[in-house]
Chain A
Amino acid sequence: MNLAQTWFKQKGWKPHKFQKDTWNAIKEGKSGLLNAPTGFGKTFAIWFGVIQHFADHAKPQINKLHCLYISPLRALSKEIYLATNRVSADLNLPYTIELRTGDTSMKDRTKQKKDKHQALITTPESMHLMLAAKGYREQFSNLEFVIIDEWHELLGNKRGVQIELALAHLKSINPNLKVWGISATFGNLEEAKEILLGPISDNTEIIKANVEQTININTVLPDEIAQVPWGGHLGLKLLPQLVPIIEESKSTLLFTNMRSQAETWYQQLLERVPDLAGRIALHHSSIDFQTRKWVEENLHTGSLKLVVCTSSLDLGVDFRPVNTIIQVGSAKGVARFIQRAGRSGHSPGEKSNIYFVPTNSLEIIEGSALKDAVKHQLIESRIPYVRSFDVLIQFMVTLAVSDGFDPDALYKEIKSTHAFQSVTSNEWQWCIDFITRGGQSLKAYDEFHKVVLEDGLYKVTSKGIAARHRMNIGTIVGNSMMNVKFLGGKQLGSIEEHFISKLKPGDIFWFAGRNLQLHSVKDMTVLVKSSKDKNGIIPSWLGGKMPLSSQLSTSIRKSLTTYKEGGKLNEELKKLKPLFELQEKVSHLPGSDELLIEKIKTREGYHIFVYPFDGRLVHEGMATLLSYRISLLSPVTFSISMNDYGFELLSDQDINIEELLDNNLFSPDFVYEDAIRSINSSQMAQRKFRDIASIAGLVFTGYPGKEKKTRHLQASSQLFFKVFEDNEDNNLLLLQAYDEVINFELEISRQQAAFKRINSQKIIVTYPTKPTPFCFAIMVARFREFYSNEPIESRVEKLLKQIEKK
C-alpha cells in the first residue's frame, strides 16, 4: 500500500479521482497544472505525490531540501504548514516541513538554514531572497519539486514573472526538477500551464478536478426603482433589505470594493442595527495584522455574525460557518464574483449563496449579466506580464549578490521562460550594461555601478549595495503607509500618507471602525485618540478603481439586448423597466447593434457622452484617443470622466460631433498608433514608471521601518523618466513603461476590439435637454482626466476672460 492509500484508509476517507490522477502523474515524473477549487483537497493531491517520491527515491542520510512550496498568501502558508506536518506525523514519516514568510524572524531563518528539513513553504519574495544568499546552489542541490499554489493569483502580476525566473534558474541546478501549479478556473488555463512550465516543456499534464460548486445568485432589488439613486456608489439605500438576510444566515461576509466603503458600511450597520454590536467586525488590508488575525479566528469559530470586508478576504483559508456572501456594488469580473461566492458554503451539503447589491439603479443590470455569465462559465483570462525588464534586472542583481552569474548561461535560462523568450542578445547586453555602468544615461553616477565582472562572473562586491538590494527584493510597490496608533501605544493599522497629509491635528476621522481624533504625526506614525464626534471623515484610499472585465461587459450588452428585443425578462430587467423607459423617452436605449452618443449643454459647458459598455479602462483610453483625433482638427481642451458603462468629453466649446462622425471618428484603423500618440502627452507612462524604477532598483524605497515618503519616490522616478526620455529613448525600462500602459492601462487589444465592434454598429446621437439615467453617474464623478493640445497662452487668455465676466 502506498502512503496515500494508508493515510486515506486511516482517516476513513475516499480520495477524489483527480487526486489519484495527480498522484499517478507525479509518479510518472510529470510536471503539470492542477485545476481545482479550494476546499476539495487540492494540496493533498500534490502532496502525497511528493512524499511518495521521497519515500521511493530519497536516501535518508541526505538531509537536504526536497520540495519548495510557494504560496502567495501567508494565511494559506500557515494552513498548509500545519496540514502537511500532520500528514508526516500520522504516517511517522521522517519528512519535516518548515515555514518561511516575510514574518519569519532573522533568528529563525538562520536556524532554518542549519536545520535539516525536507520541505519549505514560502512566498515568491522569500524564494528570491534565498537565491540572494551565498551558497544557495548547495542548499538546492537535492531539490526535486517546486509547487506553486494559487497560480491564477500570481500569473496576472509581476510576482508571476519572479516565479518564472526562479524556476528557470532552479532547473539549471536540477534539470529533472518537477514543477506543479495549483490554480482555480480561468479563461486561459492551457497558456497558464505553458507559462509555468516554460514554452518548451514536454511530459506535462493539466488535471481538472471537475468538482464545481453550485452557486445561488440573488440580486437585492429595491421595492421601487426610485429607491436607488442614479449616481450612487455606496449602496446604503438597500441596507434595510439586507438585515433579514444577515439575520437568517449563520455567518455572512459583506464585500465592498473599497476600504472607505467598508468603513462606511460598518459604521452604518452598527448605527441602524444596534444589536449587531459585538457580532460584527471589519476586515481590510489597512487594518492592523493582529486585529485581522482575531477577526479570522472568530470567523472560524462562528462567533461573528457579519464581517464587512474588501478583497482582503478574497483569498485564504475557508471559514466553515460562513454560508452567505453579500457583494456591494459591481464585482467587476465574473471570476472575482465566483471566487467571492465560493467563500461561503463549505460545510458538507451546503451551497454557495451570494447576494448582489446594486449601488445605483443602472447597476441592477449587472445582476442579470452575472447570472448569465456564471451559467455559461464565461470566465476571464489572466494576461501574463512579458518582457518585464525591471524584474529581470532585479533578478540579475539578486544572483550577483549571492554567488555571481555567468552571462551566457543566464541568458540561456531566461530565454527559456515565457516572459523573456523574445529578449534579443542586444537587449540582454543592455541589461548587463545597465547593472554594471548604469547604462548610457547614468554612467556618471557611481551608485548605479552595482555589479562588476570578476573571473567571468558578474558579482556585487559592495556590502552596502548587497544589503540594500536584499531589502528591496519584490515586485509589490505600495503607496506609502503610515501606522495609526493610539497615544497609549495600541496599534490600529495603517493608512495612506496621502490621506493623512490633508488632515490637521484635532480633525476627526473614521478608521478601523472607530471614531478617532488626530493628535499628531511623528515620522511615519499617526497618533490618535478616541472621539465621540460622529461627523468624522472617512479615509479615501487610492486604488479601488478596478475596471469591468470584458466578459462581464459582454454579458451586460447581452442583457440590454434581451430587454430591447423583447426577450424573456428576468427579475432584474423587470425592475429596470421604468428606468429604461425613461431613458428611451428622454434619449435612446441602445441595442446590441447601436452605439449611443448623447450631447448635452449645461452651465458647465458642452458634454458629449458615449456608451460602449466596455469597462472604465477601455473608456479612459478611448476617450483620450478620441480627444486626440478631435484635436487634430482644431486645438481643444477636454475634461474626461468615465465609468464602466460610458465616458464623457466635457469642453468649453461646442464640438461638431456629427461632422466628426462623418469623418470616421471611430475608425478602427490606426487605433494602436493613435493610442500611443494620444498618451504621449499624458502622465500614464510616468505613473507606471514609478513602480518600474523601484523594482529595477533605481530608487531605493528605504530601510524597514524607515520607508521613504512616496512623494519623494514619485519625484525622483519622474526625473529618471525625463532623463531617459531626453537622452536614451531606447532605454528598455522606459519602453516597458509604455508597453505596460498600452497592454494593461489602455488594454489595447480590448480597445481595438471595441473600435471594430463600434464600426459595425449604428451610431445614434441624441440631444437631451436634461441629464439622462445613463449619463448621470458619469457626469457627477469626481475623478477626472484631462486632455489638451491648446497652446497655454490661449488657455490662460480664455480662462482670464471668464474671470473678468464674473
Chain B
Amino acid sequence: MQLELAGIPFILLTEKALWRPGTSQLIIADIHLGKASHFRKAGISIPADSVLEDMRKLHALMKKYRPAEVILLGDLFHSSYNREWHLFEAFLESFNDIQFILVKGNHDILKKNRYEIPNFEVMDTWEDDLFIYSHEPMEHDSKFVLSGHIHPGVTLTGKGKQRLSLACFHISKNQMVLPAFGKLTGLYILEKNKSDTYYLIYNDTITEMK
C-alpha cells in the first residue's frame, strides 16, 4: 500500500517492512534474531525453523527490492551472543554491496566487536532532513519519526463476540510505529485512538482501519 509521510512516498509491505523508493531504503523493525537459540540455551529447545523463516523472508525482500540501504529499527538481536548471529553475518556478507544501519534497541546488547563488519553500522538514532529513525517512538517538533519497539497490533471485535488480533502500522501525529518483523515476537494490542491511523496486515493484504 502506497502513502505519503511528510510529503514523501512510502510503501507499506505485507512482509511487515517499509519501503522508501526515493532513497531506495528498506526499513525493518524488531527482528529479534537469536531468540530461539536464547531459549535453547535456557534448556528450552526450539527448532531453528522459525529463525530460518525470518531469514528467508529477509532474503526474499532483498531480492525483490534491491535496496541501497537497509535500516534496522532496533532489537535486531534478542539477547547476548549465540550461534544465530553467524546466520546474520553470512547474510550481511552475501549482500556486501548494500549498507546496513542498525539503530540500537534495548535488546541489542552484543559486544561492540561483533558489529565490526564492513557494510554494517550501529547508531543510537539516525536522521536525514525530514525523518528521524529511532528504536523507540518519540515526538519531534519538525521531523517525522519512524520507529519500532512497540510490536503494535489491534483487536477487532464485532457481532457474535468475534475477536481478531492483527499486527499493524500505527500512524499518529508525525510519527509511525512499524510492526515487528520477527516471527517469534508477540503483539502489543493498542487502544484505538480516533485521530490515529492503523494499517492492518493479514496474509497478503494491508487495509486501513480508521
A445 interface neighbour in B44, B45, B159, B161, Cβ under 8 Å: B45
B46 interface neighbour in A700, A719, A804, Cβ under 8 Å: A719
B159 interface neighbour in A702, A722, A796, A802, Cβ under 8 Å: A802
Q: A447 on the interface (CB 8 Å rule)?
A: yes
Q: B166 on the interface (CB 8 Å rule)?
A: yes
Contact between A650 and B46, CB atoms less than 8 A apart: no
Contact between A605 and B47, CB atoms less than 8 A apart: no
Q: B3 on the interface (CB 8 Å rule)?
A: no
Contact between A800 and B209, CB atoms less than 8 A apart: yes
CB distance from B49 to the nearest CB of A (A): 6
Contact between B160 and A651, CB atoms less than 8 A apart: yes
B49: chain A residues at CB < 8 Å are 719, 722-723
Q: B87-95, B110-118, B197-205: which one contacts chain A?
A: B197-205
Q: A16 on the interface (CB 8 Å rule)?
A: no
B142: chain A residues at CB < 8 Å are none
Q: A265 on the interface (CB 8 Å rule)?
A: no
How far is B158's CA from A329's CA once the two chains are assembled, in angstroms? 33
Contact between A716 and B159, CB atoms less than 8 A apart: no
Contact between A719 and B160, CB atoms less than 8 A apart: no
Determine the residue in chain B with the shortest Cβ distance to A713.
Answer: B44
A441: chain B residues at CB < 8 Å are 47
How far is B208's CA from A797's CA once the two chains are assembled, in angstroms? 11
Contact between A715 and B160, CB atoms less than 8 A apart: no
B161 interface neighbour in A639, A716, A795, Cβ under 8 Å: A639
Q: A604 on the interface (CB 8 Å rule)?
A: yes
Contact between B210 and A804, CB atoms less than 8 A apart: yes
Q: Which of B134-170 contact A (CB under 8 A)?
A: 156-164, 166
Contact between A699 and B164, CB atoms less than 8 A apart: no
CB distance from B37 to the nearest CB of A (A): 11
For chain B, give the interface size range.
Answer: 20 to 34
Contact between A700 and B43, CB atoms less than 8 A apart: yes
Contact between B47 and A795, CB atoms less than 8 A apart: no
Contact between B44 and A652, CB atoms less than 8 A apart: no
A802: chain B residues at CB < 8 Å are 158-159
Q: B96 on the interface (CB 8 Å rule)?
A: no
CB distance from A207 to the nearest CB of B (A): 48
Given contacts A606-B160, A792-B203, A803-B209, contact A708 B45 (CB under 8 A): no
Q: Which of B164-210 contact A (CB under 8 A)?
A: 164, 166, 184, 200, 202-203, 205, 207, 209-210
Q: A504 on the interface (CB 8 Å rule)?
A: no
How far is B205's CA from A722's CA once the two chains are assembled, in angstroms? 25
A651: chain B residues at CB < 8 Å are 160
Q: A551 on the interface (CB 8 Å rule)?
A: no
A699: chain B residues at CB < 8 Å are 43-45
Number of A residues near B (Cβ < 8 Å) is 42
How far is B164's CA from A468's CA once the two chains are assembled, in angstroms? 40
Determine the residue in chain B with the shortest Cβ distance to A793.
Answer: B205
A716: chain B residues at CB < 8 Å are 39, 44-46
How far is B44's CA from A722's CA once the two chains are assembled, in angstroms? 15
Contact between B209 and A652, CB atoms less than 8 A apart: no
Q: B125 on the interface (CB 8 Å rule)?
A: no
How far is B164's CA from A716's CA once the two chains are assembled, in angstroms? 23
CB distance from A440 to the nearest CB of B (A): 12
Main secondary structure of the interface of B (DSSP, over half): mixed
Contact between B43 and A605, CB atoms less than 8 A apart: no
Q: B99 on the interface (CB 8 Å rule)?
A: no
Contact between B164 and A793, CB atoms less than 8 A apart: no
A799 interface neighbour in B42, B45, B156, B203, Cβ under 8 Å: B156
Q: B82 on the interface (CB 8 Å rule)?
A: no
Contact between B160 and A650, CB atoms less than 8 A apart: yes
Q: B119 on the interface (CB 8 Å rule)?
A: no
Contact between B156 and A638, CB atoms less than 8 A apart: no
Q: A677 on the interface (CB 8 Å rule)?
A: no
Given contacts A442-B47, A716-B44, A804-B210, contact A799 B39 (CB under 8 A): no
A708: chain B residues at CB < 8 Å are 42-44
Given contacts A800-B209, A804-B210, contact A447 B159 (CB under 8 A): no
Q: B50 on the interface (CB 8 Å rule)?
A: yes
Q: Scan A785-803; emit 1 where CB is below 8 A from any B CB, else 0.
A: 0100000110111111011
Contact between B160 and A605, CB atoms less than 8 A apart: yes
A795 interface neighbour in B164, B184, B209, B210, Cβ under 8 Å: B164
Contact between B44 and A700, CB atoms less than 8 A apart: yes
Q: A330 on the interface (CB 8 Å rule)?
A: no
How far is B46's CA from A708's CA once the two chains are assembled, in angstroms? 14
Q: A720 on the interface (CB 8 Å rule)?
A: yes
CB distance from A434 to the nearest CB of B (A): 14
Determine the residue in chain A with the shortest Cβ distance to B162.
Answer: A637
B157: chain A residues at CB < 8 Å are 799
How far is B156's CA from A795's CA once the two chains are assembled, in angstroms? 10
CB distance from A188 to the nearest CB of B (A): 39
Given contacts A699-B44, A712-B44, A715-B39, contact A793 B203 (CB under 8 A): yes
CB distance from A714 to the nearest CB of B (A): 10
Contact between B43 and A796, CB atoms less than 8 A apart: no
Contact between A796 and B164, CB atoms less than 8 A apart: yes
Q: A784 on the interface (CB 8 Å rule)?
A: yes
How far is B45's CA from A715's CA once the two chains are assembled, in angstroms? 10
Contact between A784 and B159, CB atoms less than 8 A apart: no
CB distance from A471 to the nearest CB of B (A): 11
Contact between B161 and A784, CB atoms less than 8 A apart: yes
B39 interface neighbour in A639, A650, A712, Cβ under 8 Å: A712
How far is B70's CA from A776's CA once the two chains are assembled, in angstroms? 57
Q: A698 on the interface (CB 8 Å rule)?
A: yes
How far is B159's CA from A389's CA once the two chains are assembled, in angstroms? 43
B160: chain A residues at CB < 8 Å are 604-606, 637-639, 650-653
Which residue, A442, A652, A713, has most C-beta atoms of chain B within 10 A?
Answer: A652
CB distance from A174 to the nearest CB of B (A): 38
Contact between B207 and A800, CB atoms less than 8 A apart: yes
Determine the residue in chain A with the shortest Cβ distance to B209.
Answer: A800
B43: chain A residues at CB < 8 Å are 468, 699-700, 702, 708
How far is B50's CA from A723's CA once the two chains are assembled, in angstroms? 10
Contact between A796 and B166, CB atoms less than 8 A apart: yes
A784: chain B residues at CB < 8 Å are 161
How far is B45's CA from A702's CA once the two chains are assembled, in angstroms? 12
CB distance from B206 to the nearest CB of A (A): 11
B164: chain A residues at CB < 8 Å are 792, 795-796, 799
How far is B205's CA from A793's CA once the two chains are assembled, in angstroms? 8
Q: Which of A703-750 contact B (CB under 8 A)?
A: 708, 712-713, 715-716, 719-720, 722-723
Given contacts A712-B39, A796-B207, A803-B156, contact A605 B46 (CB under 8 A): no
A786: chain B residues at CB < 8 Å are 163
Contact between A796 and B156, CB atoms less than 8 A apart: yes
Determine the residue in chain A with the shortest Cβ distance to B161.
Answer: A639
Contact between B156 and A720, CB atoms less than 8 A apart: no
How far is B47's CA from A578's CA once the two chains are assembled, in angstroms? 60
How far is B202's CA from A804's CA once the two chains are assembled, in angstroms? 19
CB distance from B138 to the nearest CB of A (A): 25
User: 30 A-B pairs, CB-CB below 8 angstroms?
Assistant: A445-B45, A445-B47, A447-B45, A606-B160, A637-B160, A639-B162, A650-B160, A652-B158, A708-B42, A715-B184, A716-B39, A716-B44, A719-B46, A719-B47, A719-B49, A720-B45, A722-B49, A723-B47, A784-B161, A786-B163, A792-B164, A793-B203, A793-B205, A795-B164, A796-B164, A797-B207, A800-B207, A802-B158, A803-B158, A803-B209
- Known pairs A637-B160, A650-B160 / 19 extra A-B pairs, C-beta < 8 Å: A441-B47, A447-B45, A604-B161, A605-B160, A639-B162, A652-B159, A652-B162, A698-B45, A700-B44, A715-B184, A716-B45, A719-B46, A723-B47, A784-B161, A792-B164, A796-B156, A796-B166, A799-B162, A802-B158
User: 9 closest Cβ contacts across the A-B interface?
Assistant: A605-B160, A652-B159, A652-B160, A639-B161, A799-B156, A700-B43, A802-B158, A716-B44, A605-B159
